Chains A and B, each alone.
Chain A
Amino acid sequence: MIERRTSDDFAHEIQAHLELETDRLREKGMSEAEARAAAHRAFGNVTSAQERFYESKRWIWLECLVQDLHYAGRLLRKSPGFTTITVLTLAIGIGANTAMFSVVDACLLRSLPYPDSDRLITVWSRPPQGGHLGVAAGNFLDIQEQSRSFEHMGVVSQANFHLSTGEGAQQLSGFRVSADFLNAVGVKPAVGRSFVPGEDRPGAAPVAILGHAAWRGKFGGDPRILGQTITLDGRKCTVIGVMPESFRFALSPELWSQLAIDPATAGRDIPNLLIFAKLKRGLSLKQATAEMQGILGNLARAYPQAGLKGWSLDLVPWREEMAQYHRESVVVLFAAVGFVLLIACVNVANLLLARSAVRHRELAVRAAVGAGRTRLMRQLLTESALMAVLGGVGGVLLAVVLTPLASTLIAEPFRAGLAPIGIDGRVLAFTLAISLFSGVVVGLVPAWRASRIDLYNILKDTGRSLLGGAGGRRLRFGLVVIEVALALVLLVGAGLLARSLAAYSFVEPGFRVDNVLTMRVVMPEARYTEADRVRAFFRQLLDKARAVPGVRGACMASFMPLDGSAFSIRFQIGGRERKTEPLQVVTDGYFETLGIRLRQGRFFNARDNEAAPRVAIVNESFVKRHLAHDDALGQRLIMEQWRTGKEKPGLPVPWEIVGVVADVKVGGLGSALMPTIYTPIWQQPRVGGVLAVRTESDPAAMAPALRAVVRDVDHDVPVTDVRTMQQAARQSVSQPRTRAWMAASFAVVALILAALGIYGVISYAVAQSTREMGIRMALGARPRQVLYKTLRGGLMMAGLGLAIGIAGSFALTRLLKNLLYMVKPTDAATYAIVSALLIAVAVLAAYLPARRAARVDPSVALRWE
């Protein structure tokens, strides 16, 4: 590049030109003065030439920017109050958006934290009646062998591991996987090795890979753990690796061990394994699906007894599988927080408009001395952009606090399998983008108006304002209406979510939630291989638990209400075709301890033991669906009976229905009621289960005593998931609660901003019309009349905003449908309550400045200005 030429040099050159030209003209016979004038005339506008020279430089825009920034910075410093309010308003909007975006990014936008994670596919089987199930072990082996679309393929099954150590027993949660599974995910242990082919066959030595956190927490981070043996489920097991610290997987597994599948005996009718596979590069999901469909078709024909007719396989990217449960609530709340930012922007735009009304003389003077229209606009936009960037910085600080809160929108087990939620480069880029966007949004309207300054009138007239005039007032009025409308939409959304949350507290769970403590008892399967031994453990445990002072009743069950689990059993009744329904296996005292009501017949008692005839209890939903026309009592259910320590159940045998009980919420308070079968634990014991006790007082306080009881019965049986039923109930609605709280906070912020908007516009109008008010009052208007006149302006804004907001809400809240519980998106009560709230706030916001107007002293007002 050529060395930069100074404008001085350029000015000299022009000067030289003029002198040379003057010389020439004088030689032609003009007088000195004539020649000088003619030379100037021929040259034209000297200043403009200089400017054109100046602006031809590439860095001119940069210099203007620096100048504008300088000026903007000075202005912001000069009015710290104004600056604080606008920057803070923008910081709240930007901060909340940044926090939400970090969640949106992790949940919906970015890839999972594995190499080529977009090619990581899960394979689900879809039965003819719909829904997603896993794949049976035998079918998996065939699929694995025959498919050509995948680089790696493995299966996973959730597992709890029983770890015996010198200091007692512990439970580790984790997964059993086939050998190629970790390759499909694309993770290698940080130290040690992965599973090798053949390690997932019967007879292979048991090996385990520890999760990093478990290695730190439960094995003291000891690097010598590699190659050592631990006692897992009563068997010696070699630790072959430790996962990298950065490795994340859903449900935060503590331990990975191999899943042994015996090709000779692997079944084809229990679809309990989930296939993970890495799609080959360049293959589409469609091609892979077509191939898998063909394989399944072959299997269905080759093994008719497997009952695969009409089934299909669904290939779902793991990323999609992880995202789908939270997509709706994340998107809805992201939209809500976007509304908050919009309201914040409108608010700041309004403040800027009000201020530019005050600044109009300054702008007019600048225009008069030659600042071009674009130059003025650029300066104002620079001011607002600077403000927004400051707001962005504040927003990032706020987001540091808000992001952990926002991330609770994703349930913990899922969050553990996503990229970590936090503020990183991508999120900061987003913040910068929305900051600049906000800067333009808030600056555009004032800048546009300022650029249309009518110089003549302003400079002539010392008059009040151009922007405070009718046009400006209408504009500001309009902006507040928009604010109010947006705020109302948020309020309605938050109100609906809050009412849904409230609806959960009126849910009848079907049992008494108070004063119940539950804990999962994990018995090592290796030692409890015989039914008698399991029964003996349960009997001892219950006897001792019932003897603890403060315990009113105790029971064991495979699962407890609200935790969402049940076995699934195929049964036959009245000679009709086989059906499948949930099964709960419980001890006597179960219904009494939990407070589940009896509708017909009797509860189980201690005599319904292994020696007695097999009995069952069903719930009302079951009767409604399967025994609507019969008397339930005395009917026989034909079901398979489990055999302790055996993989496969025995042959179907009859069970007599002796009682009908009330329905219970099994899967959380919001879940649907399920037909359920109960059988006594004594007649088909399962290893492990949940102990529940009803206590006289605070159940949480009883936990240590009951832990001691378990330890007393068997030192090597760990206890996990100790919680009260009330905690379980609360936990089961934690997602709706988080949603409602977040929406409510957004709505409150929106409401405050809208109120500030109304307050600002009315205050400004009052300040502008002090003189008018003074005249009115001097002519006999009563303060009350002045008050009403002013209030009317506020109410009009609120009313118009309300009308638009209600229309908008009707259109938008339909999107909430799936997030609502027992509340319609058009719930009239919600609309009425939030509208009333909004009007009340609007009246208050308008009343404060209006009162000031009504108290105007006419003599002061007339001297005003």
Chain B
Amino acid sequence: MATQKEDKDRIVLLQGTLDLLILRTLIFGPQHGQGIARDIQENSRDALLVDHGSLYPALQRLEEQGWIRAEWGVSGNNRKARFYTLTKAGRAQLAKEAGKWRRLAAAIGRVLGPDSAEA
């Protein structure tokens, strides 16, 4: 059971969304998986729930696409971890996907109206 009780208001991420958020997180520099999960959660003020388990297949997928690359390194608190870096192709993909996502979000916002968009 991945979800806890207090998670019930959080939004479970769709696959494509998760990819986008990972790429977005990596803009600030190399990061390991746990760090990515934490950043997404914190940046969304805990509104987005990242199922840590599904993060890794997503990372794997992005790596295979060539949008990120990975190497083993040492974390801030001296733990060995696999660090992911955004590639040039990943950056381009992010720009493309983010634009698309924003247009979609705006469109959905317009359809739903100003009030419910906030909810």
Contact = CB atoms under 8 A, between A and B. Distances in A.
B60 A56 contact: yes
A720 B63 CA distance: 83
Contact of A42 (B2, B32, B63, B80): B2
Contact of A16 (B2, B4, B32, B66): B32
Interface string A21-63: 1011000000000000000011111101100110010000000
Contact of A20 (B2, B34, B66): B34
Given A44-B51, A53-B57, A16 B1 contact: no
Nearest to B77: A23
A24 B34 contact: yes
B79 A44 contact: no
A52 B52 contact: no
A2 interface: yes
Given A16-B34, A56-B57, A41 B77 contact: no
A48 B2 CA distance: 12
A748 interface: no
Interface string B28-57: 000011110110000000000001111011
Contacts of A20: 32, 34-35, 75, 77, 79, 81
B110 interface: no
Contact of A24 (B38, B80, B82): B38
Nearest to A5: B60
B115 interface: no
A488 to B, nearest CB: 57
B13 to A, nearest CB: 13
Nearest to A55: B57
B9 interface: no
A49 B54 contact: yes
B73 to A, nearest CB: 10
B79 A16 contact: yes
A10 interface: yes
B2 A41 contact: yes
Given A16-B81, A41-B4, A21 B34 contact: yes
B61 interface: yes
B64 interface: yes
Contact residues on A (Cβ < 8 Å of other chain), bracket:
20 to 34
B4 A43 contact: no
A14 interface: yes
A17 interface: yes
A48 B51 CA distance: 12
Nearest to A2: B64
Contacts of B64: 2
B60 A45 contact: no
A2 B63 contact: yes
A269 interface: no
Contact of A43 (B32, B52, B66, B81): B52
Nearest to B81: A16
B53 to A, nearest CB: 4
Contacts of B33: 13, 16-17
Given A16-B34, A20-B75, A48 B53 contact: yes
Query: Counting chain B CB atoms within 10 Å of each CB, which of A2, A42, A44 scores highest?
Result: A42
Contacts of A49: 53-54, 56-57
A224 B83 CA distance: 84
B57 A17 contact: no
A592 interface: no
B31 to A, nearest CB: 11
B52 A21 contact: yes
A118 interface: no
B54 A44 contact: yes
A13 B2 contact: no
A19 interface: yes
A43 B49 CA distance: 11
Query: Counting chain A CB atoms within 10 Å of each CB, which of B4, B54, B56 scores highest?
Result: B56
Contacts of B2: 41-45
A23 B75 CA distance: 11
A16 B82 contact: yes
Contacts of A19: 79
The 7 closest A-B CB pairs, nearest first, are: A44-B53, A44-B2, A20-B34, A43-B52, A49-B53, A17-B34, A16-B81
13 contacts: A2-B63, A14-B56, A16-B32, A16-B33, A16-B34, A17-B52, A17-B56, A19-B79, A20-B77, A21-B37, A21-B52, A23-B77, A44-B53
Given A19-B79, A20-B35, 7 more contacts: A13-B82, A17-B33, A20-B32, A21-B38, A48-B53, A52-B54, A53-B56
Interface of A: 2, 5, 10, 12-14, 16-17, 19-21, 23-24, 41-46, 48-49, 52-53, 56
